Amino acid sequence: MAQQLSRQIVLAARPKGRPEPSDFRLEEVTLPEINDGELLLQVQYLSLDPYMRGRMDDRKSYSPPTPVDGVMEGESIARVVSSRNDSFKENDIVLSRSGWRSHMVSDGKGLTVLDQRFKPITTALGVMGMPGFTAYAGLRNIGKPQAGETVVVAAATGPVGSMVGQIAKIKGARAVGIAGGPEKCAFLKDELGFDVAIDHKAPDFAEQLAHACPHGIDVYYENVGGAVWQAVLPLLNEFARVPVCGLIAQYNSADTSGPDHLPATMRQVLSKSLTLRGFIQREFVEQRPLFLEEVSTWISEGRVRFKEDIVQGLENAPEAFMGLLEGKNFGKLIVKLTDD
């Protein structure tokens, strides 16, 4: 059997602030032949997610950083090309943490065979994958929206934010979505059923948010930070809950100087008995079966809808990822590697 070539994108240098094309490098490597217990995977779809920016920095976090010259980390959907592992057969479609590459040799650990619930198959990377579960787990365990309450979420057309608003509606709450631009705001209201959509680029954004939340905010699902958090903070009600999932507005910041907003935040936390709880979705992994059951039902009933933004070609992953960090994507960002 001829040896398999694999294309891969590695971290060429640690970025200083916003990533640049020079921080990535496309390589071609030859893979070894598979041994007993191993299988060869061909990546079909690669997920691009904001957390990957944190992996590019050499700092302490909940997961170790990607080493310089190491393959960029990422979840993917892959086809089993050949197998010498009894748990997998040729042409199985699996969820894998392959990283940014076209092929890989796996020992089978951490792979999940995808079943008929994932239609289209790319939902395993979005609405029924890690982003969807992040929204579900954060709301279910921390946000706990009640009927009649107001739930606010930024980056609301992304795979996490869009799920947050739709689950809030299923629970009987008001959903206020924050997005960038009129097209995304229209999508929130017309397609996803949000009660209010606000453009964070508007010069009077803070005033619009206050007007949209006349009775305050009961749940704010935080995945942006920055100026949006500053507009949300004074509107939080007593006993408001804030699941902290991400801080995308700060990921590219190389300058940590500026106004110190911590005293004002802590004053509100104390005086309003706020709950701020950071979390990583894997903390609630035992809830994944219930998540898959509920969300697949909601999709079939038309109660949850989703949008995917698919880019063709592994070589275009760095540019697409840099755009993701600036809000240029519209929906769940996925790179398609194969032509079939």
Answering whether pTM is above 0.85, one says yes
Q: Does domain 130-284+292-298 have CATH number 3.40.50.720?
A: yes
**Residue 247 binned pLDDT confidence (cut-offs 50, 70, 90):** confident
Residue 39 has pLDDT above 70, yes or no: yes
* Residue 85 near residue 107, CB atoms below 8 Å: yes
Region 265-285: what's the mean pLDDT?
Answer: 93
* Residue 88 near residue 111, CB atoms below 8 Å: yes
Q: Write the secondary structure of the chain as one string of H (helix), E (strand) and C (coil).
A: CCCCEEEEEEECCCCCCCCCHHHEEEEEEECCCCCCCCEEEEEEEEECCCHHHHHCCCCCCCCCCCCCCCECCCCEEEEEEEECCCCCCCCCEEEECCCCECEEEECCCCCEECCCCCCCHHHHHCCCCHHHHHHHHHHHHHHCCCCCCEEEEECCCCHHHHHHHHHHHHCCCEEEEEECCHHHHHHHHHCCCCCEEEECCCCCHHHHHHHHCCCCEEEEEECCCHHHHHHHHHHEEEEEEEEECCCHHHCCCCCCCCCCCHHHHHHHHHHCCCEEEECCHHHHHHHHHHHHHHHHHHHHCCCCCCCEEEEECHHHHHHHHHHHCCCCCCCEEEEECCCC
**Residue 207 binned pLDDT confidence (cut-offs 50, 70, 90):** very high
Which range has the worst mean pLDDT, 204-208, 318-322, 327-331? 327-331
Rounded CA gap, 185 and 202, in Å?
A: 12
Region 207-236: what's the mean pLDDT?
Answer: 94
Question: Percentage of the chain with pLDDT > 90?
Answer: 86
In the chain, what are the domain boundaries? 5-126+307-336, 130-284+292-298
Fold of 5-126+307-336: Quinone Oxidoreductase; Chain A, domain 1 (3.90.180)
**Residue 225 binned pLDDT confidence (cut-offs 50, 70, 90):** confident
Q: Quick check: do 5-126+307-336 and 130-284+292-298 share a fold?
A: no
Residue 255 has pLDDT above 80, yes or no: no
Which range has the worst mean pLDDT, 4-8, 11-15, 141-145, 226-230? 226-230
Question: Percentage of the chain with pLDDT > 70?
Answer: 96
Residue 339 has pLDDT above 90, yes or no: no
Q: What is the pLDDT of residues 54-112, one digit of tens each?
A: 999 988 877 889 999 999 999 999 999 999 999 999 999 999 999 999 999 999 999 99
Q: What is the pLDDT of residues 21-35, one digit of tens each?
A: 999 999 999 999 999
Which range has the worst mean pLDDT, 75-89, 184-198, 248-262? 248-262
Instruction: Give the pLDDT score at 327.
Output: 87
**Residue 261 binned pLDDT confidence (cut-offs 50, 70, 90):** confident
Residue 161 has pLDDT above 60, yes or no: yes
